[in-house]
């Protein structure tokens, strides 16, 4: 029974990938796929399959928003590769995000004065 529980836990964790997103401006707001994640620094985690893309928007009042993206193809996930050898399905999650994504935010005045 313990082996089964360990196998299920290993496979579940192999599907999840996380990253920290940092902006050079600690007062800027970070959005991933339209969802607010934090100010200056944010933690992002998901169970999307390999090569999926995430859109990052960095906002600050009075500044133009900046747009970036990252994909889940930045690092290999050894656990998913080994699991895929036995069960095939984990091959959908054979890649992960890099641990950190840092973006330089340069405030360019927004003509309207608000975002």
Complete domains list, the chain, with CATH: 2-103 (2.60.40)
pLDDT of residue 82: 61
| CA atoms of 37 and 21, how far apart (whole Å) | 9
pLDDT of residue 41: 96
**pLDDT digits (tens), the chain, 115 positions:** 666 555 555 555 557 888 999 999 999 999 999 999 999 999 999 888 778 899 999 999 999 999 999 988 766 666 666 665 665 555 555 567 777 778 888 888 876 544 4
pLDDT of residue 34: 95
Q: Distance from first CA to last CA of the chain, Å, rounded?
A: 55
Q: At what angle do helices 78-87 and 2-15 cross, to 10 degrees?
A: 120
Contacts of residue 81, Cβ cutoff 8 Å, sequence gap at least 6: 90, 91, 94
Nearest alpha carbon to residue 71 among 45, 102, 97: 97
pLDDT of residue 107: 84
pLDDT of residue 103: 85
pLDDT of residue 43: 95
């Amino acid at each position: 029974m313990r082996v089964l529980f360990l196998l299920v836990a290993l496979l579940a964790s192999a599907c999840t990938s996380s990253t920290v997103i940092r902006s050079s401006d600690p007062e800027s707001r970070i959005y991933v796929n339209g969802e607010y994640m934090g100010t200056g620094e944010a933690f992002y985690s998901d169970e999307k399959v390999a090569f999926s893309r995430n859109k990052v928007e960095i906002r600050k009042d009075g500044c133009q928003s900046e747009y970036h993206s990252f994909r889940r193809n930045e690092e290999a996930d050894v656990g998913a590769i080994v699991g895929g050898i036995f069960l095939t399905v984990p091959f959908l999650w054979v890649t992960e995000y890099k641990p950190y994504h840092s973006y330089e935010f340069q405030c360019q005045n927004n003509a309207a004065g608000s975002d």
